[in-house]
Structure 1
Amino acid sequence: MKRISLVAAFVIGLFLVLVPAYVRSEVQSSATIAQQSLPTAAPQGEIDNFVKAKTDTEETDQESSKPASFDQVVKGTKQLKGLFTLYRDEAAGKLYAEIQPEQLNVNYLCTITMESGIGQGGIYGGLPLEDFLFTFRRVGNKLQFVVPNVFFRTRPGDPLQRSVKRSFSDSVLQALPIRSTHPKRKSFLVDLSPLFLSDLPGLSQSLSSMLGSSYSLDAGKSSFGPAQAFPLNVELESNYGFSAGAEGTPPPILSVLPNSKTFNLRVRYSLSRLPSNHNYRPRLADDRIGYFITAYQDFSDDSPRDPFVRYIQRWNLQKKEPKATLSPPEKPIVFWIENTVPLEYRDAVRDGALMWNKAFEQVGFKDAIEVRQMPDDAKWDPADVRYNTIRWLSSFDAGFLGMGPSRVNPLTGEILDADILIDASFARYAKEQYRSLEQSQQLESMPALMKLTGNPSLCSYGMGAYFLKQSMTAKPARDVSRGLKLLGNYDLCYGMEATRQLGIGAMSLSMLHNVTPRSSEMKQFVQSFLRSLIAHEVGHTLGLRHNFRASAMLTPAELNDPAITHQKGLVASVMDYSAVNLAPQGATQGDYFTQTIGPYDEWAIAYGYTPVDALVPQSETRLLEKIAGRAPEPALAYATDEDIYAGLDPLTNPFDLSGDLLTYAPWQMENAQKMWQRLDQSSPIAGESFSDVRLKFDEIFDYYFQYASFLTTYVGGQSFNRFKGGDVAGRLPFEPVPAEKQRQALALLQTHVFDANKFRFSPAFLNKLAPSRWSHWGEEPQIFSLDYPIHDRILLLQTVVLRELLQPDRLARLRDADLKTQSGQAFALPELFNTLQMAIWQDMIKPEDKLKLSSLRRGLQREYLKILTGMVLRTTPAPDDARTLAWYELKQLATALDRVLQRQGKDADTETKAHLEETRDRIAKTLDARLQTQ
């Protein structure tokens, strides 16, 4: 009986504890649900309720020990009054925050920025790390730092609110003990150290990914930096010390550090109040126009078609004079040029940002964007969320030229703050006329190899394009793009390929137009690039995504006609990744980079910023549909990052130009040939290193590589249009490339890639190409194979192009061509296989009197054999029809080899004869192996 009584007492006691806790939990859940409930229409009053929702109950302190008095805890500290009042004890390294009762369960914005980096490996000062909503929620004797879940919402009062709250969790990042409660204000004092001196941004994991070695946060080396409190925001800085990980594991060798075992990073936390914009109305998105999107699932909408509500991200622009045709905004978008920007570039930076006012004027805003200069004695910090800045970044190995992130209200899509970063080293790339490609000891073409390696990352959410070169070398691969994504979901633009465009443009000025690096012409060239770059990044801060179809607006002939390009631009949108425009041989050079926003940019701004007198987003539908309905106009074609990954559309590429690459690409390859010729004739000049000649040679080679890879997209290609029903009669989303253009692309590849005679360089030229011999921090000399690997370079180009032509997705599209093209008009699989076999094995199919194959021809033939053998043996993916054709072509080739060896084998040189006999033997074994498996 005694045992039963003890159990009963325990159960009763547990019941008495849990029931009140359950009731309290339900009260808190209801309040949090109210925070997350936002109707599809999202009237402003309901948004305000969503932002300011809070509980009506407070929990009592359950600690048995009596806490210290408020005055005792803050004794000797420095008080900083602002959004949250701070108490700073610098001697003890403590930082407290006073949270008022009315500030509980209210949404605020946290923005995290890397204030200082190490200048290498993607760890750069000024990079945005993360931004999110947060709220303080009291639970017992602690204040939880909570990130509310805003991805799932319901209308206020909908019974589904409770279900949604139970189904989808918030994220509690930290629970801060309440050190004291003020006796009069009833406010709560918390120590911020557990939150902001912990690894809140997840830097340890990111550093391990990016630097290839484990680094952990060292609490003994970490401390608070400057802290400032303002009425609408609080600015905190944390100095994080990081040390190399597990003992016995050597850290990476970081050239920029005195000791790679340890370094410090400064991280800024901006805590700000969300604006109470009673006149801001979210605007619904349309996938025909490229805006960044804030999306959530509306569980109050039971429409089976699409549960998502999508808002575009844009600034809150309101006319000062609503009825005026052209009016200044109540609050313009102001960019401050940071005082670190060199004097010689400030005008170009200003001009690039102000380009966009042309588009805003067309929707009724005068001077929507203003650009101001940050004084040298400014007291404010560029990372302060109250200022939009254009900042200069200094780094050792930055893989991007520009970056334009913005901070957005995740409830409505309203852009609140933006900062643009520019890599200061971009001008050096132009003035030196080249950029080193030797670090990886291997030459790659980024556009082609992104597909070949399965890494299509260009810019969004990481710098995969830049680090792709390193990941393909013999060094251990590093998941750098994953690491950078951990650092923050932002857009890193241009990158390595943009520096190459800048470098090749400067080289063309020097070699083809005799322009010196320090001349006024070169200065104008660099500033024209900078204006275009700034316009691109400002476009991102206005909410716009990339448009990789914009470069197809003009014909090749129109690109160098200033009467056209000064009015419309070189491209339909500065949101493309624009290649440098080099005029063909014998033509007058026009603009190198676009100097005005294009028709697409004006259209996109019209969709996002045209004032509409409506109460809710759905009321704007009629006008927005009228604007978006212009999508079929050629200059408004839109394709963004996810559209380029498949390699489907030959006009959707980064760093291309013109709507006719079949004309423009050969022009650029001929320009490359001419620059090689000039390099051979005039380099090195007196005092110039032979290693500089090698670097320039590679730079030209990569430019050649780039345009050769574009031609492959015509084979099996299709235009992809983002039309909707009723937009235009007679046009469909997919439009196959005409068969004649596909044949023309293959013929150009045969002439410019597969024919090794295009790469006949004089022995003296090749023997000039010496590597650098500097050996010190930041410079690692090449040790093995000092001579230039010309055979490997050319074979790499041929291999990439050949594999791209025979990659599985392209073969599948060609297999489907008969079903998607009118009878008799398709370019199909058999023609591709036959054309390639004739081009690569023409020596066997139509042998010359004397049989002699060069080493380059033998290498290409081996690669072809390897690809087809993989198809036949099923070791590589391919459609079954392609495997059958591969088997057929190998059988035909074996017959041709037998015939040639019988007739001319005795006269062939030893290398050619050995190559042909080995090839015949490999084909025989492949065909036999396949027969045995059936």
Structure 2
Amino acid sequence: MQMIRKERHGLASLAGLGLVLTAMLAGIVPTVEAKEYPAWEEVTKGATTMPGLFPLYYNQKDQQLFIEISKANYDTEFILPISIASGAGRMYLGGDTLNFGDQWLVCFRRSADRIHLVRKNIKFKASAGSPQADAVKTSYNDSIIRALPIKSEKSGGSSVLIDAADLFMVDLAGIGVNPDRSRSTWFKVKAYPENIEIQVAAVFTSSQKYTTVFGSDSAVPDPRGTQIVLHYSLSKLPSNGYKPRLADDRIGYFLSTVNDFSKDVDESAKVRYINRWNLEKENPSSELSAPKQPIIFWIEKSVPRTYRPYVREGILEWNKAFEKVGFIDAIQCRDQQSSDDFEPEDIRYNTFRWITTASSFAMGPSRTNPKTGQIIDADIVFDESMVRYHRQDYVKNVGIPQGLELLARGERQAFMKLFAAEVPEIEGRQAEYDEMLKLYKELIAEHPEHSLNQQFPRQPTWVNSTGGCNCCMMGPGIQRQLGLMSSVMSINGLAPGGKVPEEFIGQAIKEVVMHEIGHTLGLRHNFKASTMLSLEEINNPEITRKKGMIGSVMDYAPANFALDPAKQGDYFTTTIGPYDYWAIEYAYKPISGNEEEELNKIAKKAPEHDLIYATDEDMAGNPDPRINLFDLGDPLDYSEQRIAFMKKSIDGLVDRVVEEGDGYQRARETFTLLLGEISQATQLAAQYVGGAYTARDHKGDPEERPAMQPIPLEKHEQALDLLSREIFSDTAFTFSPELLRKLAPEHLTDGYESTPNYLYPIYDRVLSIQRMALTSLLHEQTLKRVQEIELQAVKDQEVLTLPVIFDSLTTAIWSEVPAEINPNEPIEISTIRRNLQRAYLTQLSGIVLGTTAAPADAKSLARLHLQDLFDRLDGLEEANAKLSPYSKAHLRETRDQIAKVLNAEISSARP
């Protein structure tokens, strides 16, 4: 019965629809009474009219701003860049580009008495008029992100007025900033023929958690009244006949990706365009020509005059690469004068900006047309604390919440590559960082629209979900290198008082500027480029000043210290490298013939030694040990030299870095820096074990390399020998009592938030380095890769095996307990060695008991080594060996623990 009612209802509805259609055909159409709006003149009374792309009506006195949207502009696409013009310290960085890598194309559509702000879905397309176009239209839609009430309407509906506050006095950027309209104001309002620029002084209440996690740096006196200036642009898209250029995975560029369903079904629908500027020759027939429209960078007046020459050199250095492809003065520099009235956030201007926070960062984001990849605007932000190289709390200032989150997600390899130098410091402050991570996760839970791979209040992420760099980590790393340089120069008598000579700071600035300009030209990071030269070649200026110290300035290079000061070359690279020339050739070389063929010819150079390449995503899962931050030359040779250099520098550092009349805090800072460099070098060596060389070559490339090939056995043996000697041996870490007694804490603090720790946690910090190496060598991924690489070896090729790893570790770590006991020879095991032996026992026990994931063969080997160690310890008891009380207690406890592990493993139930 119920079904019959439904059917009758449906028939009635159809009948009603029929009557409506009949009435419409007969010309009898019901009328909808048009809504009457307040008069245009009344709404805009007292406002100044500002003609432009969208006419603006601004009443500054009453803080009212209206935007006129004409009917002709409905459904027209505009780009909507958002940035922070003035920030709030580290929480919200001034100059930050908010939607970099995810440009918004928007349009306005009218719906009754509302204007919808529509964010266009431009990731999916098909040829107009094709069946695939209908399928795309059915499958994908745009997003309506704001519904804006119409405030007035011109006669005939030719234009409407909206209140700009409904659009911009909200959290339009999606960063958790909801302006309080009663306290927020219009900071700047400008209209131009092809764009409008609007700044909002947004006042809001920020969470105290931001301050705890990201550090306030006294930037916000009261979080209840946090204020930042948000800059919004609405701009036309360029219409200059730009031709997109397809990407190639052998060369690293930021990408604009669309899915084109017009392509054949046997091809991927994805089309990837590289991001680049529209450079065209003014005289196409000339071998060398000025561009029709050069890339002009304005050096903002905020840049200190002392450093402007280095900034200019860094910007213009790239012209060398453009000249190779036929452009003269492709990049130009201009100094901003007081009379130059423009905002750096204005999409028509490319700027180099100087800001002051404690985050020591630099970034070079650009705006692109997401449909084509054409770059239309770029702004470099350089934080001046980078050159204030005096040691700062790097881990707290520069993103340790991100690092801990990487560990929580199991991305140990990425964490170690980013933060290995900070591991000793983290070890001593784990409780503090655990609390920071807890608060950080609470912030994420409160703002689920954000994630680690997006910009959540101003954390410097190293790569985002679209493969774009949000905030470059080179700046903070260079600050660390300058701090290290200050200490090393003090130790070597080259920088009294630790003041690095200006020329070397200038070199560092130039290198960072070259790096960030590379980003604004579209280039991504290249973390293999530092391996181009040997350590001997790196200290030969005749080579480095011609082709660079590294293959690309898109790598992160450390300050170069020669082990022998008499052979010291440049500290920083002074020019762009071979890879940079090659990348510019691929993106910017004018091509008149078959573009696909010509581009492939360029990309086929990939196997050349100087053009080696790997980028951000390779940091997390690529087994190639040549992919690193802040290394030089062969990473294993560099690791060995760096450890030797740092240990040499530790001797007698107090007298060399602490000036007469100064406190001894500088000694602690320097010692911590040197330990951190040893930690970094340890990670570089450890990752060779279980590593493999990788390449991006395509089939048919000249001298193509396999995608993956085993590392020669001698390199593995070199790595294990280095770790055994310099990290695991009983003489690896020895420090004089005179040094340890003078590692004074910082007494001057900004309040009572911290209590000086007089005891330097030397045992914890040394163990953290040793444990990091142990964890890397015995990690499940390492052990699995060692086994898998055995399969890749050709006949009679010797490769690393699991037994070699376990034998090397046991021999180095338990050298005090020989297989044959001499009862007349006393055995003394130091505290540092006892800590290391306990850590190794924990690792082996975890593998045997299954609490630490490992391959089955590794479990068998771990059990074998525990059994062997147990037998040796038993032999000590029987031989009545001469042991100190510490050593006797330690070895007996070790023997008892091994017995429990072996018994537990034997009795455990197996399926």
Query: 598-607 vs 814-823, which deviates more?
Result: 814-823
**Residue 259 (structure 1) aligned with residue 222 (structure 2):** yes
TM-score, scaled relative to structure 1: 0.87
- CA 1:253/1:598 → structure 2, altered by over 3 Å: closer, same or farther? closer
Q: 2:813 aligns with which of 819, 836, 840?
A: 840
Query: 66-75 vs 451-460, which deviates more?
Result: 451-460
Shift of 1:926: 1.2
Contact 1:516 1:522 in 2 (8 A): no
TM-score, scaled relative to structure 2: 0.89
Question: Match for residue 923 of structure 1?
Answer: 898
Question: Match for residue 865 of structure 1?
Answer: 841
Q: 1:896 aligns with which of 869, 872, 875?
A: 872
**Residue-by-residue CA offset, 1:449-491 (whole Å, 9 max, x unaligned):** 979963666899x999999968872423025872852469643
**Residue-by-residue CA offset, 1:645-693 (whole Å, 9 max, x unaligned):** 23511211111000x2332222222221232124133353222122222
**Residue 570 (structure 1) aligned with residue 533 (structure 2):** no
Question: Match for residue 114 of structure 1?
Answer: 84
Structure 1 distance, partners of 2:573, 2:405, is 24
Shift of 1:343: 0.2
Shift of 1:719: 1.0
- CA 1:916/1:445 → structure 2, altered by over 3 Å: closer, same or farther? farther
Shift of 1:844: 1.7
**Residue 813 (structure 1) aligned with residue 796 (structure 2):** no
Q: Aligned partner of 1:95: which letter?
A: L
- CA 1:108/1:683 → structure 2, altered by over 3 Å: closer, same or farther? closer
Q: 2:374 aligns with which of 414, 432, 440?
A: 414
Question: Match for residue 598 of structure 1?
Answer: 577
Q: 1:545 aligns with which of 511, 519, 524?
A: 524
Contact 2:90 2:214 in 1 (8 A): no
Structure 2 distance, partners of 1:378, 1:299, is 47
How many residue pairs match? The answer is 867
Question: Match for residue 411 of structure 2?
Answer: 454
- CA 1:309/1:484 → structure 2, altered by over 3 Å: closer, same or farther? closer
Q: 1:335 aligns with which of 297, 305, 310?
A: 297
Structure 2 distance, partners of 1:656, 1:700, is 15
Q: 1:427 aligns with which of 387, 391, 394?
A: 387
Structure 2 distance, partners of 1:929, 1:19, is 83
What's the secondary structure of 2:227's corresponding residue? strand
Q: Unpaired runs of 5+ in structure 1?
A: 21-59, 208-215
- CA 1:295/1:250 → structure 2, altered by over 3 Å: closer, same or farther? closer
Q: Aligned partner of 2:811: which letter?
A: M
Structure 1 distance, partners of 2:829, 2:405, is 28
Shift of 1:869: 1.1
Contact 1:63 1:141 in 2 (8 A): no
Structure 2 distance, partners of 1:15, 1:315, is 55
Structure 2 distance, partners of 1:640, 1:262, is 41
Q: How does 1:352-367 map to 2 (within 5 A)?
A: 352-367=314-329
Q: How does 1:166-565 map to 2 (within 5 A)?
A: 166-183=138-155, 186-204=158-176, 217-244=179-206, 254=216, 255-278=218-241, 280-395=242-357, 397-398=358-359, 400-429=360-389, 432=390, 434-436=391-393, 454=411, 473-477=433-437, 478=440, 482=452, 485-486=455-456, 490-493=469-472, 494-516=474-496, 522-565=501-544
What's the secondary structure of 1:300's corresponding residue? coil
Q: Aligned partner of 1:826: which letter?
A: V
Contact 1:437 1:699 in 2 (8 A): no
Shift of 1:730: 6.4
Q: 2:764 aligns with which of 786, 792, 799?
A: 792
Question: Match for residue 635 of structure 1?
Answer: 610
Q: 1:128 aligns with which of 97, 106, 113?
A: 97
Q: Aligned partner of 2:521: which letter?
A: L
What's the secondary structure of 1:128's corresponding residue? coil
Contact 1:446 1:706 in 2 (8 A): no
Contact 2:411 2:620 in 1 (8 A): no
Q: 2:63 aligns with which of 93, 117, 125?
A: 93
Contact 2:67 2:162 in 1 (8 A): yes
Shift of 1:506: 2.6
What's the secondary structure of 1:507's corresponding residue? helix
**Residue-by-residue CA offset, 1:99-129 (whole Å, 9 max, x unaligned):** 11111101100000111111134x2111111
Shift of 1:551: 0.3
Question: Match for residue 26 of structure 1?
Answer: none
- CA 1:409/1:643 → structure 2, altered by over 3 Å: closer, same or farther? same
Q: Aligned partner of 1:734: which letter?
A: M
Shift of 1:420: 0.2
- CA 1:600/1:787 → structure 2, altered by over 3 Å: closer, same or farther? same
- CA 1:505/1:145 → structure 2, altered by over 3 Å: closer, same or farther? same
Contact 1:690 1:770 in 2 (8 A): yes
Contact 1:93 1:224 in 2 (8 A): yes
Structure 1 distance, partners of 2:19, 2:488, is 79
Question: Match for residue 626 of structure 2?
Answer: 651
Query: 168-177 vs 676-685, which deviates more?
Result: 676-685
Contact 1:772 1:781 in 2 (8 A): no
Structure 2 distance, partners of 1:423, 1:641, is 22
Q: Unpaired runs of 5+ in structure 2?
A: 23-29, 445-450, 459-463
Structure 1 distance, partners of 2:188, 2:402, is 45
Structure 1 distance, partners of 2:698, 2:704, is 12
Question: Match for residue 665 of structure 2?
Answer: 691
Contact 1:448 1:709 in 2 (8 A): no
Structure 2 distance, partners of 1:878, 1:830, is 14
**Residue 79 (structure 1) aligned with residue 49 (structure 2):** yes
Q: Aligned partner of 1:416: which letter?
A: I
Contact 2:421 2:677 in 1 (8 A): no
Shift of 1:517: 5.8
- CA 1:428/1:222 → structure 2, altered by over 3 Å: closer, same or farther? same
- CA 1:232/1:556 → structure 2, altered by over 3 Å: closer, same or farther? same
Contact 1:444 1:702 in 2 (8 A): no
Structure 2 distance, partners of 1:729, 1:683, is 51
Contact 2:190 2:196 in 1 (8 A): yes
Work out the percentage of aligned pairs sharing the same amino acid.
Answer: 37
- CA 1:339/1:252 → structure 2, altered by over 3 Å: closer, same or farther? closer
Structure 1 distance, partners of 2:419, 2:873, is 47
What's the secondary structure of 1:143's corresponding residue? strand
Q: Aligned partner of 1:645: which letter?
A: A
Q: 1:760 aligns with which of 725, 734, 741?
A: 734
What's the secondary structure of 1:189's corresponding residue? strand
Q: 1:740 aligns with which of 705, 714, 719?
A: 714
- CA 1:386/1:261 → structure 2, altered by over 3 Å: closer, same or farther? same
**Residue-by-residue CA offset, 1:61-102 (whole Å, 9 max, x unaligned):** 967642122222212211111000011123433211111111
Q: 2:642 aligns with which of 665, 668, 679?
A: 668
Structure 2 distance, partners of 1:839, 1:419, is 52
Query: 533-542 vs 576-585, which deviates more?
Result: 576-585
Question: Match for residue 43 of structure 1?
Answer: none
Q: Aligned partner of 1:697: which letter?
A: F
Q: 1:911 aligns with which of 886, 889, 897?
A: 886
Q: Aligned partner of 1:272: which letter?
A: S
Q: Aligned partner of 2:847: which letter?
A: M
- CA 1:696/1:62 → structure 2, altered by over 3 Å: closer, same or farther? farther
Structure 1 distance, partners of 2:530, 2:731, is 31
